[in-house]
Amino acid sequence: MAKKSSADKTAAADENVDKSTPKVEEEPDFSDPEDYIDDITDEELLGDMIISKPSETDGHETFIVVDGIPKVEPKRKEKLQSVIEKILSKFGNIINKYYPVNKETEETLGYAFFEFSTPQDALTAVEKGNNYKLDKQHTFKINLLTDFKKFENLSEDWEPPSPQPFKAAADLHSYLLDPDAYDQFCIVSGQPGNTSVQVWQNCQPEPMIVEDRPRWTETWTKWSPLGTYLATFHKLGVALWGGPKFEQQHKFVQRNVECIDFSPCERYLVTYSPRDDSIEKKLSMWDILTGQKKRSFDVKGPSIWPIFKWSHDDKYVACMAENTLCIYETPSFGLLDKKSISTPGIRDFSWSPTDNIIAFWLPENKDVPARVTLMEIPSRNEIRKNNLFNVADCKIFWQKSGDYLCVKVDRFAKKKEKTEQKYTESLQNLQNFQGISYNLEIFHMREKLIPVDSVEIKEPIHAFAWEPIGNKFAIIHGESGAVSVSFYGVRMGNQPAFLKKFEKRSANHLFWSPAGQFIVLAGMTTMSGALEFVDTNDFTSMNLTDHYQTSDIEWDPTGRYVVTSVASWKSNVDNGYWLWTFQGRILKRVNLNQLNQFNWRPRPPTLLTPEQIKDIKKNLKKYSSQFESKDRLRLTRASKELIEKRHQLMKEFEAYRAGRVEQHNNQKKRRLELRQHIDTDELDSDTKNVEEEIVEFFVKEETFIIDN
């Protein structure tokens, strides 16, 4: 047998390999031809993935550019940096900064770059820090670094904006144009989240509803000080409404607002969310006209509302901090003169209602006596100081016209060493402390050097109230269960004079009429709603009555009417409000289930001068005849409306009766057939042609067996 050569063996091996394993194909070529043109865009191929494509500005969102920085030499650069970084650090955490300098002089170039830890902090710095006034010559202009690309691509072809059609704004003071000068009031009723809000006009003889909206607010409402706006509370913020149809004028976004406060001239609004821990700064100040947030504050610990108090002209707003009094000026809301007022241990302060004068009191500190200080703003001149000794507590009361200031002083009868703890304990147990005396310090603000008179009261003082227009004040004093009400008059250059004392009265609150002269002595909370209406011209008690469980008492802006109400937060029964005249005569009782709130709509100050008002009062009899004729005409109109209503009801009844008579006549033929052609319609009681017969017949009888 012949042997195979090595070549034959190799061929046979290759043949076996081909039979056992598949043959490897040549790899395809995916390259495009040289003349191929790709006309498919990345957006068509990648779809949603193209959205996440990195851009050149990625990572730049945390950078801001601050322009308007002072140009300083190297030795002042460090101080400038500390001031600027202190301001900007309020908006977030700064992780990097760069101050460009002139290479020759090494002076700063007037701008700088800052990097924050998050884009949100950078955006906050732009929103709140832009236009920050560093001093009289330098104001910050802050922009995001990413905005510069947008500025580079601005079109050079400017086109003037097209004129917008004129849209007349709502008349926010239309309610003042009522010819009869009727006042309005707002009522809130229902459970929280399902409330009903009604606005009424106090017409005569019956009030007329102006607006009625369900769920208009989630909790309460509040009128602005001049009556221009009605504020409603919502989970997302506060809304202001106004105009004849109460259209929404402004809204301010801040979650869970519970407290608001308007500035006296209605230029600014303060909102406060005390129980929302998700808000970093719970108190915010807003410009009402623009809706812009002017400044925010982080309020820590318990506070008495309002935390901030306004000057009468909206130029300043102040608050107390630890041992300092902080006064901010508008519209920048920066600290006045960039520094607070040192007031060690300050307890309370209050603005004059007519002047930029602020009154505050400081407690005793070692050998330094307590004192009340009157300070002019913005000069900070202390125009009057009054030292007080052995002071336990003070309360500040301004007269509405700003002519007088009363400081109610509670004193220790004997000098004691008072620490902070003893001071707090004295406030908590003031009424039960037998070693307390009481004084009223009266400041005559319009007299030279502001003299001070002191009125000593030997009994505990429970309430104090100035007459809004006039020179009298009233106090409730005495031991519990046997209180009295006393009236004093204040004259320029004279000691306050005692006028009248009402002994053993059930009263713990005083409510003066806005027009003065008349006052309501009210026993609320524990006194079951006792009411006494007093004319302080001759101190006549016009009416002594009560409204059980009264929770609120409010005069209308003119002083003609007063309302007592029982709200659901005080009692679950007898909710409603009663309307009285200033003399204490009841006009109307309205029972309203789950009444939450009753508020009269305020009015702005009168445009009449004091001389004109005096002349009107002098010639009131001449005008009273016109008012009486209007009242008679109004009552006649009401009677006419009632008569017209009765006439309309009579016409409707006669039309109904005529229809029934016609139906009766149409059925007469059928009645004759059923009655053997005897016309029973023509018979009277004396007719004997018809005999009456009673027919009785058995209908059905069934027997049932009832099992036990």
pLDDT digits (tens, 9 = 90+) for 309-356: 999 999 999 999 889 999 999 999 999 988 999 999 999 999 999 999
pLDDT at 118 over 60: yes
Distance between CA 183 and CA 653 in Å, rounded? Answer: 39
* E strands in 570-705: 576-581, 586-591, 595-600
Contact 510, 518 (CB under 8 A): no
Contact 356, 316 (CB under 8 A): yes
Mean model confidence pLDDT for the chain? 86
CA angle 439–441–442, rounded 5-degree value:
140
Task: Name the nearest CA neighbour of 333 among 362, 308, 364.
Answer: 308
DSSP 3-state of 380: coil
Higher pLDDT, 310 or 90: 310
Tell me what the mean pLDDT of segment 644-649 comes to.
86
pLDDT at res. 595 = 94
Angle between helical axes of 119-129 and 74-88 (0-180°, round to 10): 100
Give residue for tokens 């505990």.
460
pLDDT at res. 115 = 92
Contact 276, 282 (CB under 8 A): yes
Give 220-250 pLDDT, tens digit per residue: 999 999 999 999 999 999 999 999 999 999 9
- How does residue 686 score in pLDDT terms, banded at 50, 70 and 90? low
Task: Name the nearest CA neighbour of 565 among 585, 550, 546.
Answer: 550
Phi, psi of 365 (to 5 degrees): -140, 100
pLDDT at res. 430 = 45
- Lowest pLDDT segment from 40-49, 177-186, 648-657: 40-49
pLDDT at res. 210 = 94
pLDDT at res. 131 = 86
Give 432-485 pLDDT, tens digit per residue: 444 688 999 999 999 999 999 999 998 999 999 999 988 999 999 998 878 999
Q: Is the pTM of this model over 0.75?
A: no
DSSP 3-state of 644: helix
Contact 67, 113 (CB under 8 A): no
DSSP 3-state of 703: coil
Distance between CA 463 and CA 453 in Å, rounded? Answer: 19
DSSP per-residue codes, 10-67: HHHHHHHHHHHSPPPPPPP--PPPTT------HHHHHGGGGGG---TTTT-TTEEEEE
Instruction: Name the amino acid, one letter, at 350.
Output: S
Instruction: Name the amino acid, one letter, at 569.
Output: W
Q: H or E segment at 221?
A: strand 221-223
- How does residue 420 score in pLDDT terms, banded at 50, 70 and 90? very low
Contact 381, 362 (CB under 8 A): no
Which are the contacts of 540, defined by CB distance < 8 A and separation ≥ 6? 534
Distance between CA 402 and CA 381 in Å, rounded? Answer: 18
The structure tokens listed for 100 are: 């460009």
Which are the contacts of 616, defined by CB distance < 8 A and separation ≥ 6? 608, 623
Cβ neighbour number for residue 292 with a 10 Å cutoff:
12
β-pairing, 293-297 vs 283-287, is antiparallel
pLDDT at res. 26 = 66
pLDDT at res. 421 = 46
- How does residue 3 score in pLDDT terms, banded at 50, 70 and 90? very low
pLDDT at res. 691 = 66
- Lowest pLDDT segment from 67-81, 116-130, 422-436, 575-589: 422-436
- Distance, CA of 256 to chain centre: 12
pLDDT at 414 over 70: no
